[in-house]
Chains A and B, each alone.
Chain A
């Protein structure tokens, strides 16, 4: 399985993400030989507990996520980040959850990929049925190595080059890579789609934290 780092755009304090930043970042990829590919979509769905009374919801996980990845069209991934649980299932598990009616889906987000060569993909985070840009993510894929540890140095070197290219555009923010502790999720050094799912969940938590920080400054 090809190794991937998922990065997210961290806006500077006081600024937010916007489509101009997205455009600049895309141009940056093109400038280092990025070639436009087709659209590509990963979807992240929040599952909220269905309880008779609202107050009862606190007893259940608040960070239960479902993720579909384009690299695995017949699979679906569940994550409970707080408890470091990741599960790979068939896509039919979504129907199964619907039948149980214990959890309801809320707010799907799409990570759309419009551009990239075989290593880079730049995507926007948007809610379903909306074009409101909530964030920017990037996938950096390195084909030759499947070991998380062995790939680390090469990925860090590439990231340095990338950060330098982006910084020349003086944008109000930067890309961040927050590597989850895969071992805590029971995942091994050999990279799999479950590792990708966990990275997306981590990115999501960071995006939420950023939005909440901006909101608390406003309030």
Chain B
């Protein structure tokens, strides 16, 4: 299981966001360059269609692969009241044959993306990961060197934290509380609920850039 919120920020404000995150998290950013290959089951496979994502980490000297399945979101009145999405998620590291295996099992390429940016991993009431990245599409199959932004000038911010059925309320609280610190720069909400950029972003970014990140919030 994981807790997730997402938001968007203009590329021009990403540097300010980085300064803010650096101050809040107390750790260094890690560069991110992930080739994400989304596969869907072919027409006759399974009673319902299924999706699986293969993630190739291109930042490592030798690419490492992970396979991930994102399941349904928690439903019900309780789920609707919380501002963080709680959903099932299973992932596994795999050796490099994963794409060949899933093609052989009857999965087809649905789409692929290249995410380029950075992440912060830290502990603050929960194991939180903040990812800031541009989402790029490839003009030719698997051509990660020739990727162009899907939304030029805009980057995606994702805050995720692993959770279990026993502790998800605490994790939701930790994520929500952390997101409040980012409010001047961006608004984070459940994936699928778009909120656009925040009107205070420019002013907040300017303030962060001039302070050099020295002002505690």
Contacts and interface: CB of A to CB of B under 8 A. Distances in A.
Contacts of A36: none
B90 A96 contact: yes
B67 A96 contact: yes
A64 B45 CA distance: 14
Interface residues of B, number: 27
B165 interface: no
Contacts, number: 88
Contact of A92 (B90, B97, B100): B90
Interface string B66-93: 0111010000000000000000101111
A189 interface: no
Contacts of B45: 49-51, 60, 102
B44 interface: yes
Interface in A182-203: 186, 194
A186 B46 contact: no
B47 A50 contact: yes
19 contacts: A52-B44, A59-B106, A60-B45, A60-B105, A60-B106, A83-B100, A85-B104, A86-B97, A89-B67, A90-B94, A96-B68, A96-B69, A96-B92, A99-B88, A101-B47, A101-B50, A102-B41, A102-B107, A194-B95
B52 interface: yes
Interface of B: 41, 44-48, 50, 52, 67-69, 71, 88, 90-95, 97-98, 100-101, 104-107
Q: How large is the interface on A (under 10, 10 to 19, 20 to 34, 35 or more residues)?
A: 20 to 34
B104 A52 contact: no
A60 B92 CA distance: 23
Given A83-B104, A89-B92, A92-B90, 6 more contacts: A51-B44, A87-B101, A92-B92, A93-B67, A102-B106, A102-B107
B101 A100 contact: no
A186 B101 CA distance: 13
Interface of A: 49-53, 56, 59-61, 64, 78, 80, 83, 85-93, 95-96, 99-103, 186, 194
Nearest to B94: A89
A85 B93 CA distance: 17
Contacts of B93: 89-90
Contacts of A59: 44, 106
A87 to B, nearest CB: 5
B92 A102 contact: no
Contact of B50 (A53, A61, A100): A100
B106 A88 contact: no
A86 B91 CA distance: 18
A85 B100 contact: yes
Contact of A102 (B50, B88, B98): B50
A92 to B, nearest CB: 5
